[in-house]
Chains A and B, each alone.
Chain A
């Protein structure tokens, strides 16, 4: 029923991954000691300098082929780097979308031109991507996008509006899901993916401030923007299939259950060596639930690793862990909130954004961002509908 072919018993990190973990930890300790970044929760921080420093270590695009700037490392090692960054609340927003989504999509579907143009620059930490999916009229119902691309000589003219586009004001380019032929009844047909450079004429980026005043969301207007043919990702008309084909890794990564983890560490610090029985039980339970989610996430990452002989570094397609991956996101996003409530209820603390007390600040940062995790990348309700469909099959 689940994980039929995954050997959790044998799942342990090989020596190179353990060595890598120590390197990442040492690097992050030195960064924090040097004051190069301030750990923050909630909104991921965009720090191009930090991104370039970790790129120099080979930690961006690390599973990609060497000819595109990658290191051809196993997924497991990327998993280790990702979870260490999250544990340290490191500022990874600049490379996040490109490392996790854009790069793998380009590897699988992109032309040689696109791969050569973007992947090495992403891996050097010099090129940042945003994702142009949602629109004012298309939230959960992504296939209803209305941004249109009309074919013209040598390319496409794109008109429409994207929304909730994180870091579009800092990124160089974004993936745009748009309609390239009219809705013919099958709404999943006629969609395509284009790479649009954000400095192109006709592109306007406007901030959408978050409720705490911070700026990462944007709306992006596309007014008759010319996009040359070579910027088409994969095949015209296959956009839906391309967007949904690589969701397993995206949904099951440590970022789905670890974004409030540093708050748990601060809670443990505040509780001290011998807290009361209630606190012990809550901390023990949170530890167990994190351990279990992590094993699940790790099992998926390793099972999807295509192995060293892979052509393009894309996930192994012979193993379908789509349901299990969606379940990691569903449970992980709720787990993150359990940490918030434990911190609130076990110690006397009030959320305060501008304070030197780290527990108070982390609490403030996580409380205001708590609603986002169960909305972005597919709401809980849509995700569960999808999971149920996979469990039930077609019910007639």
Chain B
């Protein structure tokens, strides 16, 4: 019942092989320069991985959100420099739920910042969008931006060509594009009223879930590298992995990584089943962000000075951990929301809320 089903096992196996075959130091170095890896993206598209969890009749690859979660964990583990979460979990989800045909290519979604708004108004038979959006992931390499906009009669989902927007390139710590996007009466190519369940809150929850899963994977990567390094590096005439001081740190790192994996994957299941999404996703984002803080620093401490260099691979994982923990709400923001809700509900339902299915 709780061991992986065959479909998931095959998916994990084939995605692992794809990432392992294609993501190497050279590809990551190039992506740091170019903002992403177009060649890796092509491979992922060929394997239909970006649209896992989007229904086949909507143009997706089928599967569940938990299937997509397994892929996102791997994308984090291989620090894949591509907009996998943005394309499937965010943009295609909004489009499919709103009955809009999926455009080809890499997609992104917005707004991602709570304060940002896109205003939509109907003008001569089409929707025009205006607004300023900060830090939209991958905007400059996406083929389309999928935006959740406020129209006079409620929210709409609209697809726009980034060429029509003013894009100011930016990047997160790992060099992943996080671009400011300005729209001035940009005509939507396609648009429709936001489908069932598509709202700003859910967009943010799904973004936070995706980053949690990716952080869990990146923690696994940083731990793997740290364990390997401790097995090989000798000081004082011994492998450093033989020193208890190093062992104790690696064990602590192991705990942070394991609990991050458990929390992020669990949250995907809760969201998929329609359970208490705030509890699950807030918990996952808080816990994986805490783990990112602890784990990344242990990884660097175990590595010593080599770990902080541009040539050694560790930074691909740690820079992402430090960037992703802030995206879609950091641990303080989610903790305040969760804590405020807990206090409003009061002490008596606390345990039953926590254990609700």
State the A residues within 8 Å of B (CB): 1-3, 5-13, 18, 21, 25, 83, 87, 261, 264-266, 268-269, 271-275, 277, 279-285, 287-296, 299, 302-303, 319, 323-324, 327, 330-331, 381, 383-385, 387-389, 391-393, 395-396
* B303–chain A nearest beta-carbon distance, Å: 15
User: Is the C-beta of B319 less than 8 angstroms from some C-beta in chain A?
Assistant: no
Contact pick for B346, options A269, A282, A289, A331, CB 8 Å: A269
Which of chain A's residues have a CB closer than 8 A to the CB of B252? 330, 384
Q: Chain B residues near A387 (CB, 8 Å)? A: 250-251, 254-255
* A264 / chain B contacts, CB cutoff of 8 Å: 350
Selected contact of A292 from candidates B1, B254, B273, B284, CB within 8 Å: B284
Residue pair A10, B258 in contact (C-beta under 8 Å): no
Cβ–Cβ contact A7 & B258, under 8 A: no
| B2 and A10 form a contact (CB under 8 A) | yes
Asked if B78 is an interface residue, CB under 8 A from chain A, the answer is no
Assess whether B223 is in contact with A1, with CB atoms less than 8 Å apart. yes
Identify the closest chain A residue to B5 (Cβ).
Answer: A7
State whether A18 touches B357 (Cβ < 8 A): yes
Q: Interface readout for B7-50 with A: 1 if CB under 8 Å, 0 if not?
A: 01000000000000000000000000000000000000000000
Chain A residues with Cβ below 8 Å from B273 are 12
Residue in A13, A18, A25, A292 whose beta carbon sits within 8 Å of that of B263 in the complex = A292
With A13-B357, A21-B355 already in contact, 20 other A-B pairs whose C-beta atoms are closer than 8 Å? A8-B262, A11-B2, A268-B350, A273-B344, A280-B339, A284-B282, A284-B337, A284-B339, A284-B342, A288-B263, A288-B286, A288-B287, A291-B280, A296-B259, A296-B262, A319-B3, A327-B251, A330-B251, A330-B255, A395-B231
User: Which residues of chain A have C-beta atoms less than 8 A from B265's C-beta?
Assistant: 3, 7-9
Q: Cβ of B284: which chain A residues have Cβ within 8 Å of it?
A: 288, 292
With A7-B8, A388-B250 known as contacts, the answer to whether A280 contacts B258 (CB < 8 A) is no
- Number of contacting residues on B, CB 8 A? 70
Determine the main DSSP class of A at the interface with B: helix
Specify which of A266, A291, A295, A299 is in contact with B347 (CB 8 Å cutoff).
Answer: A266
Which 5 A-B pairs rank lowest in CB-CB distance, beginning with the nearest? A284-B339, A9-B269, A284-B335, A388-B247, A9-B66
B79-87, B129-137, B194-202, B238-246: which lies at the interface = B238-246
Contacts of B250 in A (CB 8 A): 387-388, 391-392
Is B282's CB under 8 angstroms from A288's CB? Answer: yes
Chain A residues whose CB sits within 8 angstroms of the CB of B280 once the complex forms: 291
* Shortest distance from the beta carbon of A47 to any chain B beta carbon, whole Å: 22
Q: CB-CB < 8 A to A283: which residues of B? A: 335, 338-339, 342-343
CA gap between A264 and B353 in the complex, in Å: 14
Q: Is the CB of A384 within 8 A of B351?
A: no
User: A299: shortest Cβ distance to chain B, in Å?
Assistant: 6
Q: Is the CB of B230 within 8 A of A295?
A: no
Contact with A along B134-170 (1 / 0, CB 8 A): 0000000000000000000000000000000000000
B116 near A: Cβ within 8 Å? no
B261 adjacent to A2 (CB under 8 Å): yes
Q: Are A324 and B339 in contact (CB under 8 A)?
A: no
Inter-chain contact A1/B1, CB cutoff 8 Å: no
Given contacts A268-B343, A284-B342, A292-B259, contact A384 B251 (CB under 8 A): yes
Q: Is the CB of A284 within 8 A of B334?
A: yes
Contacting pair A273 B346 (CB below 8 A) = yes
Decide: A2 and B220 in contact? CB cutoff 8 A.
yes
B261 to A3, Cβ gap below 8 A? yes
User: Which residues of A have CB within 8 Å of B2?
Assistant: 6-8, 10-11, 299, 302-303
B251 touches A287 (CB 8 A): no
User: CA separation between A10 and B246, bound complex, in Å?
Assistant: 36
Complex contacts, A18 vs chain B, CB 8 Å: 357
Q: Which residues of B contact A (CB under 8 A)?
A: 1-5, 8, 64-66, 69, 220, 223-224, 227, 230-231, 239, 241-242, 244, 246-248, 250-252, 254-255, 257-263, 265-266, 268-269, 272-273, 275, 279-280, 282-284, 286-287, 290, 331-332, 334-340, 342-344, 346-347, 350-352, 354-355, 357
- A3 and B272 within 8 A (CB): no
Selected contact of B258 from candidates A269, A274, A277, A324, CB within 8 Å: A324
State whether B255 touches A331 (Cβ < 8 A).
yes
Residues of chain B within 8 A (CB-CB) of A383 are 251
Q: Which residues on the B side are within 8 Å of A381 (C-beta)?
A: 244, 248
CB <8 Å contact, B340 and A269: no
Bound CA span A389–B8, Å? 30
Assembled-state Cα–Cα distance A384/B247 (Å): 7
Contact B286 A280 (CB under 8 A): no
Query: Smallest distance from the beta carbon of A224 to chain B beta carbons, Å?
Result: 40
Between-chain CB contacts (< 8 Å), 9 pairs: A2-B254, A7-B265, A8-B266, A9-B64, A9-B272, A271-B343, A284-B286, A296-B259, A299-B2
Partner of B242 from A266, A281, A395 at Cβ < 8 Å: A395
Cα distance A11–B283 in the bound complex, in angstroms: 16
Please, which residues of chain A bring their CB within 8 A of the CB of B332? 281
A1 and B350 contact, Cβ closer than 8 Å, known pairs A385-B244, A385-B247: no
Choose among A9, A294, A299, A388 the residue that contacts B354 (Cβ–Cβ < 8 A).
A294
A43 to chain B, nearest CB (A): 22
Query: Contact check: which of B1, B255, B334 meets A288 at CB < 8 Å?
Result: B334
Q: A288 — which chain B residues lie within 8 A by C-beta?
A: 263, 282-284, 286-287, 331, 334-335, 338
Q: Is the CB of A282 within 8 A of B254?
A: no
Other-chain residue from B248, B260, B351 in contact with A87 (beta carbon distance below 8 A): B351
Q: Are A9 and B69 in contact, with the CB atoms below 8 A?
A: yes
Tell me which residues across on chain A come within 8 A of B69, comparing CB atoms: 9
State which of B251, B258, B268 has its C-beta within 8 Å of the C-beta of A388: B251
From B65, B227, B340, B355, A280 is in contact (CB under 8 Å) with B340
Instruction: Evaluate contact between B340 and A395: CB separation under 8 angstroms.
Output: no
CB closest chain-A residue, reference B64: A9
CB distance from A9 to the nearest CB of B (A): 3
Q: Which residue of A lies closest to B65 (CB)?
A: A9
* B-chain residues with CB within 8 Å of residue A266 when the two chains form the complex: 347
Q: How far is the CA of A393 from the CA of B251 in the complex (A)?
A: 13
Chain A residue numbers with a CB within 8 Å of B227 are: 391-392
Enumerate chain A residues within 8 angstroms of B343, measured Cβ to Cβ: 268, 271-275, 279-280, 283
Point out the residue from A7, A9, A285, A395 that lies within 8 Å of B335, measured CB to CB.
Answer: A285
- For the complex, give the distance between the alpha carbons of A302 and B252 in Å: 24
A12 to B342: give the CA distance in the assembly, Å. Answer: 22
Selected contact of A384 from candidates B1, B248, B279, CB within 8 Å: B248
Whether the pair B262, A3 counts as a contact (CB closer than 8 A) is yes
Cβ–Cβ < 8 Å partners of A282 in chain B: 335, 339
